[in-house]
Structure 1
Amino acid sequence: MPFFLRLFVILFCLFASPPPYADGANPGFLVLNYHDILEEEEKVPPFDRIAVNKQHLDEHFAWLKKNNYHVIGIQSLLDAMSGEKPLPPKAVILTFDDGYLSFYTRALPLLKKYHYPATLAVVGSWLEGKNTAGVKPLMSPEQIREAMATGLVEIASHSYDLHHGIAANPQGNELSAVTGRLYSSEYEEYEKDEDYRKRIFQAVEKSADQLFQLLGVRPRVMVWPYGEYNAIALEAAKAAGMRLTMGLNDGANTLADVGAMKRLMITDDVNVKQFAEIVKNQRGHLPLRVAHVDMDYIYDEDEEQTGRNLNALLERIKASGANTVFLQAYADPDGDGNADELYFPNRHLPVRRDLFNHVALQLRTKAGVKVYAWMPIMAYKADVPLKWFVKEWREGGPKPARHIYTRLSPFNPEARQYIGEIYEDLAKHCDFNGILFHDDGILSDFEDVSQPALDVTHKVWGLPAEFEAIHASSELRLRWAQHKTEWLGQFTDYLTDKVRYYRPYVKTARNLYALPLLKPYSEEWYAQSFPAFLKHYDYVAIEAMPFMEEADDPKKWLTELVKKTAEHPNGLDKMVFELQAVDWKKQQDIPMNVFTEQFQLLKKLGAKHIGYYPDNVHHDQPKLDALKKFFPVANVD
């Protein structure tokens, strides 16, 4: 497995799931993943992070037995799905990827020793001796048949020829052949939808046919190379008879997850104590340390200068201790918060440069961080009919909204589809870990009074059809705001679904203004609510910016912000406090002693996730030397 893709999949292992056995009536199950198995004397540099010492594997198996885990095979899972026989408590499935010879010589004897079933995923083209340059010694077809004949080993497809990277952008970066779109440097164009779909379906079907010819039975399980899949790949697997598939996201499973199971990849040759911690806790996720980055700071008309800017950013982020980057995916050269252009191919807005995928991948592989695509919800400077935009009530009737954000209305069906297609194109062409929804997702107490919005207000929500009637009543104004808050939340759910069709692993975060948290009645003016955000997003990124809010006492203000957050169930677990690195009102950087003091105060008060905006690589703000001292968190994995 190439290093960049190896690191790529390891980055998936960052989020915990609920304990798998919390509900005794519907027990869950874990899937553990191994690759190459080494003898102790073979552990020499450069170390392979996904290889495991045979002695450690033996100790892992013994620990499972001693602690009453039940190792089950695929048939037991199918029996549970059909209702024939329930899963045993503390069920575990063992998987081994790639079909290395070490499975036959080292893992299989241990499986026989403990009488543990396992699933072995093999790559079709490798079985034929193709594309094996740099690949470790592999099992022969005869050895695979012999392993299956033991009755302990299920042979799964690991695709026919998708276990590699493909050039997926103009810069030549490689992404998984399963989810990446081929980029032709000769024609300067991406693989078309129909060509991509045909390539995936053919590769999956060819693997299933090949294994049938080799083994006499069709594979029942697809194990996605590098853990990468999307809705099209899942459809291809199902069409080829493999309704069970496996990715590489950490966490536990229930029977509802069998279409795309999570797997705990065992990395770094963990000893039995570390293994026990992984199995019991599924790698509790790290506190986030977020650097919020403007792509506009990295972009330059001179591509060579862009490269220098990016290299400086990579060095800075890696050294800073940040583990997450909120990265701007849209261009806003005039700084008004609206998307003038985009940094990825799309069907609606100009492309400033096809840059987001390249920068995101470099950050993930070279700086070792998660990357969230920072995107507007509604604020697009689009050449579309005026009726698509948010309207405010002014001078006795609906007029174009005067807010600095030029927002398309989430109530207009054409506008919703337009924005949805932008998000769809982002996910189709770029690979990233999450989405940060921009702070443009607001509607005032005079918005939205476009005709589609008023129709929903009256016909769906049962409020008066006339704006004046709503606005005359404080009770109706609040009800109107609450409905709008939920409408915006459901609209971002729609956008998330568009992304997850192609990138099913992504997490979500949304910017929240401070006032709706500090004074919940201000929902009327924003259509924002912390409880509503907790329901819709994995994280909420609040603007913890006392100077922007002109707070008389910044420390007291931040203290109140944390206190109000903690009043909500899971509030501190999901809130990202974003400090400001610049005082925009004074047009000057926040002094580092003030910035550091605020960071330490947030930590002391119990804030778990902390970030800052903006990160300015050009004049070292916040100061890197200071960030390195207090920003990192210990890696608990």
Structure 2
Amino acid sequence: MNMRLIAGIFFVIACWIAGPLQAADSASSSFIVLNYHDILEEEERVPPFDRMAVNKEHLNDHFAWLKSNGYRVISIQDLLDAMQGKKPLPNKAVILTFDDGYQSFYTRAMPLLKKYKYPATLAVVGSWLEQHNHAGTNKPLMTPAQIREVAASGLVEIASHSFNAHHGIVANPQGNEQSAITTRLYSSEYEEYEKDEEYRKRIFQELEKSSEQLLQMLGKRPRVMVWPYGEYNAIALEAAKNAGMPLTMGLNDGANTLADAAVMKRMIMTDDPTAERFATIVTKLRTGRELRVAHVDMDYIYDEDEEQTEKNLSAVVERIKASGANTVYLQAFSDPDGDGNADKLYFPNRHLPMRRDLFNYVSLRLRKGADVKVYAWMPMMAYKADVPLKWYVKEWRDGEPQLSRHVYTRLSPFNPEARQFVGEIYEDLAKSCDFNGILFHDDGILSDFEDVSPLAMEFTHKVWGLPAEFDAIHSSSELRLRWAQYKTELMGQFTDYLTNKVRFYRPYIKTARNFYSLPLLKPYSEEWYAQSLPTFLKHYDYVAVEAMPFMEEAENPKQWLAELVEKTAQTPGALDKMVFELQAVNWKTQQDIPMPVFTEQFQLLKKLGAKHIGYYPDNVFHDQPKLAELKKYFPVEIKD
């Protein structure tokens, strides 16, 4: 089955799930899903602690808090009834879920569910039931008889947690393991990844086997698929629907509407929250956390000597962990000459040379070792590729269109073959690598003399209704601005296309895009850049503005930064999305920014109301910014 057909099926699944929302009461269509695992007695809470285990007394406190604060615990059938327009969801609706089928659900959680008359969903792993315990922890599991008993109580919906996919499989040449649901198995024997059809067949068979097992055990197929580790993609969703499970659950924080029923967000209970912390989790939904971003060059980590690469990586992981950063923008392309263009890539792909299969490995090490979110930092258009010259951006020079002389050698977003070329690179990134987001590079720029390639000018005239001749457009300030605004939106739509390529395989990723400071400070300069804050806010989860006064040769850096924050704040909601990226190096002088200056700028941004702050570059070899100072003020206090 080709990818376009799969995407179409995914869209149909989403529409099938979301369709009944129109008949429901939209004012009562919001709900949250809470996730628990093992439930312990107080005396069992001994080291090493299971971060996902919850004290039975605390669980009782959680249930009591929900009851006393007007929350209504609903069943899966209540959710389906609301989707079909039979009755609206109650206000403050909550779904309770318990993963893995531990014996403690039967002995400790179930009595509390009966006490409060709360329905719940229990997700079980088929192969574990056959082993009678969790192979990784040796924790006892419920028996099939106990599962049938709780299912017959009328309070418990039995969901699939896969048959045998709640584990990792080899995901890269370094031998790391990642989710069996979303990972392409890497064969060290053949030095190759699982092919598309092999992967698809494995996932379909896995979910069908789980559904069939529960049919044999309970007399009916499960309606809900709970994704192991919260990992899923469009192919997995299609397989779940095919196996009779149109409702699925991930592990992202936040609230749901009925339109989210195809993949519900769930808030996992970790570190045994007290009633007070539980109240904060439920009311705040763990959203709106501030970002502290370190921008890391993979070219600093890479070395021809693999042993040295490993040493470099270990140093970076330890440094990022100690710094207090919670997010890393990690270079996924190779740019050894520093011109901002991708010469090679750090992941398998069909179009550019691969310097080394490294991005997935480094991303995993950072996520696990430094507990950060990793964004793949990727060019939008700046690829040095063996493609026809007509694919590239052209500028008007000497009375005719010529290949642009800009430092960024950009493929044209007007050229359909070039767009497909870049789209396939992003698709290959998502197939072989696991990460949390994308940072679109600052190569997304078109000047007031670009793009004048034949396809671009034809599009400009036929679609946008502007003159077909460059001189006619450029002779009018009103037409130049309109032209720029159209180009700004076109590039936003192009990155939406790239994002969708990634989200087919990594649906949960966030997006950010680098933003030059001048279009923020002087909006009329959109004419020279084809960038604007309103357009960026519409297309991306975050906007990463270059808050770099020395690069901009600002006479008064503090005043310049203050104006940057002030201009951002003038647009409602912009401070919630803006990442202010400080410079750690003065590229004009090739000197590191002194830490007193760096610290002063950081504190100024924070004082003025900036929520998300980062810096570029992070240099482990120069200890820049200085770690001893950075870790004093960079961390964000995490409040559930």
Q: CA contact under 8 A between 2:128 and 2:135: conserved in structure 1? A: no
1:346 partnered with 2:349 = yes
AA aligned opposite 2:158:
I
Q: CA contact under 8 A between 1:581 and 1:615: conserved in structure 2? A: yes
* Counterpart residue number, 2:465: 462
* Counterpart residue number, 1:284: 287
1:109 is matched with which residue: 111, 116, 120?
111
Q: CA contact under 8 A between 2:132 and 2:140: conserved in structure 1? A: no
Q: Shift in Å at residue 134 of structure 1?
A: 2.6
1:597 is matched with which residue: 594, 600, 604?
600
* Counterpart residue number, 1:329: 332
Partner-residue secondary structure (3-state), 1:615: coil
Q: CA contact under 8 A between 1:577 and 1:611: conserved in structure 2? A: yes
Partner-residue secondary structure (3-state), 2:131: coil
AA aligned opposite 2:262:
G
AA aligned opposite 1:251:
G
1:487 partnered with 2:490 = yes
The separation in 2 between residues aligned to 1:210 and 1:355, in whole angstroms, is 39
1:96 is matched with which residue: 98, 107, 115?
98
1:393 partnered with 2:386 = no
1:499 partnered with 2:502 = yes
1:298 partnered with 2:301 = yes
* Counterpart residue number, 1:134: 136
The separation in 2 between residues aligned to 1:131 and 1:411, in whole angstroms, is 57
* Counterpart residue number, 1:574: 577
Which string of whole-angstrom CA distances, capped at 9 and with x for unpartnered residues, describes residues 409-435 of structure 1? Answer: 011000000000000111111111111
Q: CA contact under 8 A between 2:254 and 2:287: conserved in structure 1? A: no
1:584 is matched with which residue: 584, 587, 591?
587
* Counterpart residue number, 1:376: 379
So what's the TM-score if we normalise by structure 2? 0.95
1:160 is matched with which residue: 160, 163, 171?
163
Q: Shift in Å at residue 86 of structure 1?
A: 1.2
Q: Shift in Å at residue 606 of structure 1?
A: 1.0
2:120 is matched with which residue: 118, 121, 129?
118
1:417 partnered with 2:389 = no
Which string of whole-angstrom CA distances, capped at 9 and with x for unpartnered residues, describes residues 204-237 of structure 1? Answer: 0110011001100110000000110000000000
AA aligned opposite 1:436:
L
1:143 partnered with 2:146 = yes
Unmatched 5+ stretches in structure 1: 1-22
AA aligned opposite 2:113:
L
AA aligned opposite 1:114:
Y
1:478 partnered with 2:481 = yes
Q: Equivalences for 1:261-272 in 2 at 5 Å? A: 261-272=264-275
1:432 partnered with 2:435 = yes
Name the CA shift for 1:296/1:107 in 2 (closer, same or farther; >3 Å). Answer: same
For the aligned residue pairs, the C-alpha RMSD in angstroms reads 1.0
1:54 partnered with 2:46 = no
Which string of whole-angstrom CA distances, capped at 9 and with x for unpartnered residues, describes residues 561-603 of structure 1? Answer: 1111111111111111111111111111111111111111111
AA aligned opposite 2:305:
D
Moved more, 84-93 or 252-261: 84-93
Q: CA contact under 8 A between 1:373 and 1:435: conserved in structure 2? A: yes
1:315 is matched with which residue: 315, 318, 336?
318
The separation in 2 between residues aligned to 1:454 and 1:196, in whole angstroms, is 43
Which string of whole-angstrom CA distances, capped at 9 and with x for unpartnered residues, describes residues 82-107 of structure 1? Answer: 11111111111110000000000000
The separation in 2 between residues aligned to 1:218 and 1:607, in whole angstroms, is 50
AA aligned opposite 1:302:
D
1:32 partnered with 2:34 = yes
The separation in 2 between residues aligned to 1:431 and 1:623, in whole angstroms, is 30
Q: Shift in Å at residue 560 of structure 1?
A: 0.7
Q: Shift in Å at residue 132 of structure 1?
A: 4.1
Partner-residue secondary structure (3-state), 1:245: strand
Q: Moved runs in structure 1, 4+ residues, more than 6 A?
A: none
Partner-residue secondary structure (3-state), 1:235: helix
The separation in 1 between residues aligned to 2:395 and 2:132, in whole angstroms, is 63
The separation in 1 between residues aligned to 2:373 and 2:536, in whole angstroms, is 21
Partner-residue secondary structure (3-state), 1:260: coil
So what's the TM-score if we normalise by structure 1? 0.96
The separation in 1 between residues aligned to 2:119 and 2:365, in whole angstroms, is 39
The separation in 2 between residues aligned to 1:188 and 1:26, in whole angstroms, is 52
Q: Shift in Å at residue 286 of structure 1?
A: 2.2
Which string of whole-angstrom CA distances, capped at 9 and with x for unpartnered residues, describes residues 526-551 of structure 1? Answer: 00001110111111101111111011
Q: CA contact under 8 A between 2:133 and 2:140: conserved in structure 1? A: no
The separation in 1 between residues aligned to 2:150 and 2:606, in whole angstroms, is 53
Q: Shift in Å at residue 153 of structure 1?
A: 0.5
Q: Shift in Å at residue 457 of structure 1?
A: 0.6
Q: CA contact under 8 A between 1:546 and 1:557: conserved in structure 2? A: yes
Unmatched 5+ stretches in structure 2: 1-24
Name the CA shift for 1:341/1:130 in 2 (closer, same or farther; >3 Å). Answer: farther
* Counterpart residue number, 2:15: none
Partner-residue secondary structure (3-state), 1:128: helix
Identical residues among aligned pairs (%): 79
